[in-house]
Amino acid sequence: MIAALRERPRLSLALLAVLLAVLPFVTGVLIGQSGVRMLDFALLYVLLALGLNLVVGYAGLLDLGYIAFYALGAYFYAWLASPHFGLHLPFWMILPMGTLFAAAFGVLLGAPTLRLRGDYLAIVTLGFGEIIRIFMNNLDAPVNLTNGPQGMDLIDPIQIAGIGFSGTQEVFGLVVQATHLYYYLFLAFTLAAILFAYRLQDSRIGRAWAAIREDEVAAAATGINTRNLKLLAFAMGATFGGLAGGLFAAFQGFISPESFNLMESILILCMIVLGGMGHIPGVIVGAVLLTILPEALRYIGDLQRAMLGEVVVDAANLRMLIFGLALVLMMLYRPAGLWPSRQRRRELTAEGEVVRHEQESLVDVQR
């Protein structure tokens, strides 16, 4: 059946579209509202993973503080659409400004650090993520900007054409839950982001990023302005993060610094490493998998209770443990991810061959 679909791309695309369109209703019937919420989150994470993939997968810059841009986008939305400052701007005004705001921070962070080698960059971005979180936690005095650890609530939901995305709404005579409306909105953004990422990959910029990723010195020698392009990668990644953050704030109606800790950054990194760095379908699969997997792991708690009479390993703990193991095992055994791009797989195996030959000729010098 898959082979048959592969020969008819239009048909399979149409099938996929129908599937995506009915997915929330099917989920709603099978699992209930919590299932639809999970889908919404999965889409947000796809958006985030695609953004981080621009930075890490395309340009090869390991960013461990990516969640900071998500946080900035979310707080920006909350400032302009909640009772906190009494502002209630519409989302189509806030989101573009929020993404620009996040992108500006991306450049601000990138500018001093991009001359550095990859691993320094990782630590500095990690530090930046922590700084942002510390500020969010403490900027409730003397001027109350973030409401500190309590977070900000009563954030306006998104409103399109007079339909507010909250509770149940009637759209074209149909009664629809807000989570369904958010699903379609997020889906639209995600599809746009996927298209954007594909076009970017094949563009002059995308090819320059690939060149920088593979060999920065050689890239610079061929006339690529490495500094500007790396800054651009940071800014674009931050844009995705800021957009997802704004959507998140509107969707949740509540944000607090807790949502933006280091583990979230690492979770998103896990998604793209697991799926296949630099390969869009792989990244999407990774993001969806890692959003749904933790939910599935909740049942492990019930399973333990049923079998052993108590919860020995609690689910959140187990989730992180599995993530850690997955990161290590993936790097050791499948460094290209579950669904790598064809080119990257070829590169990795070819490189392996060369290394093996070198090692053989050195007769165990390394060992």
Partner 1 sequence: MDIFAQQLVNGLVLGSIYALVALGYTMVYGILELINFAHGEVTMVGAMVALAVMGALLGVAPDLPGILVVIGGALVAIPACILLGYTIERVAYRPLRQAPRLAPLITAIGVSIILQNVAMLIWGRQYIAFPPILPQATFQIAGAQVSALQIFIVLLSGIAMAGLWFMVQRTRLGRAMRACGESREIASLMGVDVNRIISTTFIIGSALAAVAGLMVSAYYGLAHYYMGFMLGLKAFSAAVLGGIGNLGGAVLGGLLLGVIEALGAGYIGDLTGGFLGSHYQDVFAFLVLIAVLVFRPSGLLGERVAQRA
User: Rounded to 5 degrees, what are φ and ψ at 169?
Assistant: -130, 155
Residues lying near partner 1 in the complex (CB under 8 A) are found at: 56, 60, 62, 64, 112-113, 115-120, 122-124, 126-128, 130-131, 134-135, 138, 142, 215-218, 262, 266, 269, 273, 313, 317, 320-321, 323-328, 331-332, 335, 355, 365-367
Helix axes 315-333, 262-275, angle to 10 degrees: 40
Task: Give me the residue label for tokens 């001093």.
Answer: 112
- Dist CA 60 CA 25 (whole Å): 39
Give least dist CB 131 to partner 1, A: 5
Which one, 33 or 343, has the nearer CB to partner 1?
A: 343
Tell me, what DSSP letter sits at residue 177? E
Which one, 35 or 110, has the nearer CB to partner 1?
A: 110
Give least dist CB 58 to partner 1, A: 13
Element (H, E) at 197: helix 178-202
Helix axes 204-214, 226-252, angle to 10 degrees: 110
Residue 151 CB contacts under 8 Å (≥ 6 apart), including other chains: 254, 255, 256, 257, 258
Which one, 7 or 360, has the nearer CB to partner 1?
A: 360
Give least dist CB 174 to partner 1, A: 44
Give least dist CB 128 to partner 1, A: 7
- Dist CA 295 CA 10 (whole Å): 33
Give least dist CB 298 to partner 1, A: 17
Tell me, what DSSP letter sits at residue 152? B
- Dist CA 44 CA 61 (whole Å): 22
Give least dist CB 94 to partner 1, A: 27
Which one, 64 or 80, has the nearer CB to partner 1?
A: 64
Classify the C-alpha dihedral 355-361-362-367 as positive or negative: positive
Give least dist CB 205 to partner 1, A: 21
- Reduce the DSSP state of residue 74 to 3 states and report it: helix
Which one, 26 or 329, has the nearer CB to partner 1?
A: 329
CB 255 within 8 A of CB 248: yes
CB 83 within 8 A of CB 91: no
Which one, 281 or 352, has the nearer CB to partner 1?
A: 352
Which one, 33 or 317, has the nearer CB to partner 1?
A: 317
